[in-house]
Amino acid sequence: GENVEQHPSTLSVQEGDSAVIKCTYSDSASNYFPWYKQELGKRPQLIIDIRSNVGEKKDQRIAVTLNKTAKHFSLHITETQPEDSAVYFCAASMSNAGNMLTFGGGTRLMVKP
Amino acid sequence: NAGVTQTPKFRILKIGQSMTLQCAQDMNHNYMYWYRQDPGMGLKLIYYSVGAGITDKGEVPNGYNVSRSTTEDFPLRLELAAPSQTSVYFCASSYNSQGDGTEAFFGQGTRLTVV
């Protein structure tokens, strides 16, 4: 089955700095790559996603890049704010496997004011 | 729309007891999923369903059962609860057409402790 690795497990940045979280996946058939943000005690919520036919996608301060050849994708957050502090999960899914999401282990992002 | 609703929010079970975690969605989503999240860890798929009457195992199905008799409901049954099943359980749903993945919407979670 699919395996998703996520790094780093914790990331501390100063407010206003950029944060980058990286994920790798194992199955080249994966074709959908969402990123979820989970605040303490809350449910995961989608912040951005990318499909395998696109190399990059941006939404305000958040961007995701995908390298299909290397089988890795990254989340970039610019101008970080204290409210960006949360756990971020990457995931991968493939349409021939029920579109079930395989999650990475998560990155705890702390933005220091 | 309420989205994905899970009940109960919290539950304490004794070893060997059984229970059903309820999940309902009102978005007419065809795909539904059950995940568990252990403290400080990512989410692991227990079972999923691509439509009413169809269910399949995920990564960690042992000790659990599911059914999908309607599009809206996807209950998760725990038989003979064990301490290893202490976790937060999330139900999720998505609408998938033409085979491609789409956003999964999560319920608020059920925090289960087995003692």
Contact check, Cβ <8 Å, A96/B44 = no
- Write down the pLDDT at residue B101: 75
DSSP one-letter string for A32-101 = EEEEEEE-TTS--EEEEEEETT-SEEEETTEEEEEETTTTEEEEEE-S--GGG-EEEEEEEB-GGGTT--
Nearest-Cα distance to chain A for B81, in Å, is 23
- Write down the pLDDT at residue A94: 81
Residue of B nearest to A90 (CA): B42
Side-chain half-sphere CA neighbours of B23 within 13 A: 32
- Written as tens digits, the pLDDT of chain A (113 aa) is 889 999 999 999 999 999 999 999 999 989 999 999 999 999 999 999 999 888 999 999 999 999 999 999 999 999 999 999 999 999 998 876 677 899 999 999 999 99
Q: Any residues with CB less than 8 A from the CB of A53 and at least 6 apart, and which?
A: none
Nearest-Cα distance to chain B for A103, in Å, is 6
- Write down the pLDDT at residue B114: 97
Q: Which residues of A touch chain B, with CB atoms under 8 Å apart?
A: 1, 6, 31-32, 34, 42-46, 49, 51, 89, 93-96, 98-106
Listed as ranges, residues in chain B with pLDDT below 70 are: 98-99
Terminal Cα distance for chain A, rounded:
41
- Write down the pLDDT at residue B99: 64
- Write down the pLDDT at residue A97: 66
Which residues in chain A have their CB less than 8 angstroms from residue B42's CB?
Answer: 6, 89, 103-106
Contact check, Cβ <8 Å, B102/A43 = no
Closest CA to A52 of A2, A93, A104, A106: A93
Contact check, Cβ <8 Å, B100/A99 = yes
Contact check, Cβ <8 Å, A98/B56 = yes
